[in-house]
Chains A and B, each alone.
Chain A
Amino acid sequence: MIDCPAFRALLRLELARTLPQISRTLGLAAVAAAALAVFGGVTSSRLVLLMTFVAVSGTGAVFQNVIRDKLEGGLDFLVSLPVDRRVLALSRAAACGALAVPAGACLTAAGTMALRAANAHNFGALTVAAAFVLATAGMTAVAMLGMGLSLRLKVSHFANLIVVGFLAGLGTLWLLSHALHLSRETLLALATTPWFLPAFIVAITGLLVFAGWLGYYLAWTGLDRFSPGRDQVDW
């Protein structure tokens, strides 16, 4: 099913146009972190919030590219290529995964520092690696879902999605900032129960696999039903 040169070309295309956006976001985050350091306001929770912003912006770039494709005719071009639309969806999924790596690394680093600062855990290398994999997979799943949804949505529905996304983002930030203030005792009590770790890993992995699959499915079916020249984007 996968035509390798075509898949590689599509993957390169996705990376080439998204990397500058990711670099800009990382640059902004670095400037913000430096400003915090200079003015003495670096706290672990602020760092996590900043890195969450980086991660969310990274996935936002994927979303933004789909919308741009719809408006500027890039999607017409992509579906006019002699390649199965499943390969298009797969290449975008792979690009989401590759682009989630720096965001996952930033989140993991900030999270590790925050937990160390709170003295909540002695983070070992394995824990850091697991956190990195989960963060990266999470970003990939979120990007895939965003891509899948944006492929299916008309731009007029896009406004609704922005409102929902904004509220969901605020909710996530609120949860994150409050989770960091959970007492050390509560965290340790939860983490030391025998069922906690396996249940946590199974639940998170299941959730990520499901979100990734759903994102791919939405992206593929969104591309599959797209009819160039007929599916005009309406505001």
Chain B
Amino acid sequence: MIRLHHLDVRYPDFSLGPLSLRIGEGERIALVGPNGAGKSTVLRTICGLNRDYRGEVSVGGEDLRRLGPRVRTLVGVLPERLLGFGWMTAADHMRFLASFHSTWDVAYAEELRERLGVPSATKLANLSKGMQVKLSFVSAEAFRPRVLLLDEPTSGIDPVMRGEILALIAECAPAAGGRTVIFSSHLLEDVEAVARRVLIMRNGQLCGDLDVGDLAAEGDGSVPAAIYRRLTSD
């Protein structure tokens, strides 16, 4: 589904890679690592927002450079903060987004919005952080993309909302396959709850690509403990 081959990103203050990786259809992957490890850069590159890279990236078997902005009809993105215009209401925002996706399912979007309790008439600028995350989730999921990229979907929100978001992620990506989900998180309990495979990143390098089962064995039954150990070891 997604292939990174010698992905190399250079900024004046940060560099990533070279990084090679294959992600199959229906996988649920967690990207973990400290701040500045390169998690968001990987996600931004996969959804075509970072075009300043070397190496090869393909999504759905097609080269990302050839796909261009079309990649975002295959990939739904939940960014670190809600992207939109503060003066638009949630309903306006969803209607606007629907114009860009031929597969946007109005009924499904409405069902998700109601289920998550996002008020339709409230302006984006007036939504709480939790509501913004929920609306981002609805926007990323409503056109049923083949890949969901979630950049720290549960950071800064209360435990109840966090539980709802995690349940939704699990529901949208059944273990039997289909939807590919890649999410980054600092919350290791979330990783254990959602992911089947964990990619550990440090200083722009991939320093671990492990199955959750192997991590559980390594941490004497505790996935967070094993990840923490790997993140803090030299």
Contact = CB atoms under 8 A, between A and B. Distances in A.
Contacts of A82: 69-73, 100-101
A227 B100 contact: no
A227 B9 CA distance: 13
Contacts of A13: 85, 96
A73 interface: yes
A6 B100 contact: yes
A84 B87 contact: no
Interface in B84-106: 84-87, 96-97, 99-101
A74 B84 CA distance: 6
B100 A83 contact: yes
Interface in B43-58: 44, 47, 49-52
B87 A17 contact: yes
Contacts of A73: 81, 83
A92 to B, nearest CB: 15
Contacts of B47: 80
B219 interface: no
B86 A80 contact: no
Contacts of B86: 72
Given A5-B99, A6-B100, A230-B11, A80 B73 contact: no
Contacts of A85: 69
A125 interface: no
B213 interface: no
A79 B49 contact: yes
Q: How large is the interface on B (under 10, 10 to 19, 20 to 34, 35 or more residues)?
A: 20 to 34
B184 interface: no
B68 interface: yes
A9 B100 CA distance: 8
B77 interface: yes
Contacts of A228: 44, 49
A8 B85 contact: no
B96 A9 contact: yes
A81 interface: yes
A40 interface: no
Contacts of B224: none
A81 B50 contact: no
Nearest to B79: A80
Considering residues B52, B70, B87, B99, which has the most beta carbons from chain A within 10 angstroms of its beta carbon? B99
B31 to A, nearest CB: 16
Given A6-B100, A229-B44, A230-B11, A80 B83 contact: yes
Ranked 10 nearest A-B pairs via Cβ: A9-B99, A82-B72, A77-B83, A5-B99, A82-B73, A82-B69, A6-B100, A81-B100, A228-B49, A82-B100
Given A82-B71, A82-B101, A229-B44, 18 more contacts: A6-B99, A9-B96, A17-B85, A72-B86, A76-B83, A77-B83, A77-B85, A80-B49, A81-B69, A81-B72, A81-B97, A82-B69, A82-B72, A84-B68, A227-B49, A228-B44, A229-B40, A229-B49
27 contacts: A5-B99, A6-B100, A8-B99, A9-B99, A13-B85, A13-B96, A17-B85, A72-B85, A72-B86, A76-B83, A77-B84, A80-B72, A81-B69, A81-B72, A82-B69, A82-B70, A82-B71, A82-B73, A84-B68, A227-B49, A227-B50, A227-B51, A228-B44, A228-B49, A229-B40, A229-B44, A229-B50
